[in-house]
Amino acid sequence: MASRLVDDRTERFSELFREFTPSVRGFVRTMVAASDVEPVVQATFETAWAKLEAIPLLSQRAWLFGVARNHVRNHVRAERRRAFLVDAIGAQRPGELTSCPRGCVDPVEIAPVLAALQHLSTEERELLQLVAWHEMEPAEVAVVLKISANNARVRIHRARKHLETLMQPELGEVDR
Amino acid sequence: MRVRDPFEILAALNPVPRLSETSPQDDELLATIIAKAPSTTGKRRRRLWVTGGTAIAVVGLAAFAVFHQDSASSPLQLTCYTTAQQPQPEQFGIPMEGDPVKACEQLWRNGTIGDAEPPTLTACVNDRGIVAVIPGDQQVCDRLGFANWIGALTDDEGQMMAFADELAATFSEKCIIEPDATAAAQAVIDKYQLDGWTIVQQGGYTPQRACSLAGAVPEQHLVVIASRRGAP
């Protein structure tokens, strides 16, 4: 019986690991240097292995992102995280930028976005990143940041407004 | 000029799909994690200290414990507890910068923890050697079985803590037999560029206790080596 429980646990963890390792890796890479990604990924899944029963089934990815974020915050200062985020975007090749599934980017638009990201707070960047890149709903963002869903919704709105404000001098009025 | 929503531009710049890759090493990583019991290596290491117990090793351990009482073994880490309970259901790790109580108060004020003004907070050193800022008065550390934190480690204290930790890890992670033990301890001493340290070999090796353990006694600049259970 005990052996069966162990097998079930191992199986559940293996599925979790296989399903979410790529997305956790992508999330971590936007916060740390490429050479630091794997230790954080490993630490994240070690935590998941230790706390498997505590992981909410409906928000496993968000829970893992929250753990990864904590591991990163323990090791990398905010200023460096900002640099890695910009580095991750900037490292894309022009070809990749124009084959974008969510609309193509005029090269003229890239520099202002990078500049605006530099001026956002760490939390604002995290919020926008989770919504824009990981396509998370406010409820999932709430799990990652350990805040209420309402709080997440308000903060996302404010962060978008701040991004618009920062980019207006460069790009003009926002077309909606 | 009117342009599209900056948020949409940001979304279109998404680097994540390119960064979200599987790795050829993933199966190996999965096996490594599963092979570990779901507990901290720190606990395992302490158990080794106890099971290897000889009189002199216990003295070394006691000295190490005193050293631990109000210092943190991870001085770069800080964790903010949301409630005064152990185990802690939810905690926030942040880099240790300046006053830990003020740093955690800030998380309460900006809404990261709870939605209210911060309660009275006290800095403790938790059972993993990390500074933990916990809601409660000065007695809260004691109630949870932790030591009160009294200040940042000096550089020398930090180095000594790292040395003692590495020494213990070196001897607990593999079986170092008696003839190799002194050289292994000396290598760690040399790595930390410590002068005037003495290595004492306590002995007590038998076929069942063929491996070594080592402990640092910082006050006496002493490393004590003794036997522990195990075979190479």
Q: What are the pLDDT digits (tens) for B100-158?
A: 888 888 888 877 777 678 899 998 887 766 788 999 988 888 888 887 776 655 667 66
Q: Pick the closest to residue A124 from B14, B109, B80, B110 (CA basis).
A: B110
Residue A56 C-alpha, separation from nearest chain B C-alpha, in angstroms: 13
CATH for A96-169 is: 1.10.10.10
The answer to whether position B100 is within a domain reads: yes
* Total domains present in chain B: 2
Contact call for B94 and A176, based on CB within 8 A: no
Point out the least confidently predicted range of A87-96, B47-56, B76-85, B91-100.
Answer: B47-56
Positions in chain A short of pLDDT 50? 1-4, 78-83, 90-102
C-beta neighbour count of A77 within 10 angstroms: 14
Q: Are B10 and A128 in contact (CB under 8 A)?
A: yes
What does the pLDDT read at residue A52?
A: 86
pLDDT more than 90, % of chain B: 10
Show which of residues 27-46 on chain B sit within 8 Å of chain A, judged by CB atoms: 29-30, 32-34, 36, 38-40
C-beta contacts of B203-208 below 8 A and 24+ residues apart: B203/B178, B203/B227, B204/B54, B205/B177, B205/B178, B207/B231
In angstroms, the CA A158 to CA B111 distance is 14
Other beta carbons within 10 angstroms of residue A110's beta carbon come to: 18
**Taking a C-beta distance cutoff of 8 angstroms, is the pair A74, B77 a contact?**
yes
**Neighboring chain B residues of A77 at a CB cutoff of 8 Å:** 95, 97
Residue B72 has pLDDT above 60, yes or no: no
pLDDT of residue B32: 83
Examine the domain organization and report whether B122 and B183 are in the same domain: no
User: Among the ranges A96-105, B41-50, B216-225, which has the highest mean pLDDT value?
Assistant: B216-225
Instruction: Please determine, for residue B179, whether its predicted confidence score (pLDDT) is greater than 60.
Output: yes
Q: Is residue B118 part of a domain?
A: yes
Are B141 and B182 in a shared domain? no
Cβ within 8 Å, pair B12-A103? yes
Q: Is A14–B6 a contact, with Cβ atoms under 8 angstroms apart?
A: no
- Partners of B77 in beta bridges: B95
Give the per-residue pLDDT at B121. 92
| Residue B183 sits in the same domain as residue B198 | yes
For residue A121, the distance in angstroms to the closest alpha carbon of chain B comes to: 12
- pLDDT at residue number A62: 93
Give the tokens for residue B61.
């351990």
Mean pLDDT score, B193-208: 84
Domain that holds residue B87: 77-148
Greatest Cα pair distance, chain B, in angstroms, is 84
Mutate to test the interface with B, among A27, A37, A46 (most CBs of B within 10 A): A46
Q: Of B148, B170, B193, which residue is a domain's last?
A: B148
pLDDT at B70 over 70: no
What is the pLDDT at residue A17?
94
**CATH fold label, A1-76:** Rna Polymerase Sigma Factor; Chain: A (1.10.1740)
Tell me: pLDDT of B181 over 80: yes
pLDDT of res. A171 = 56
Query: Are residues B144 and B159 both part of a single domain?
Result: no
Say whether both B159 and B109 belong to one domain. no
Contact B72, B149 (CB under 8 A): yes
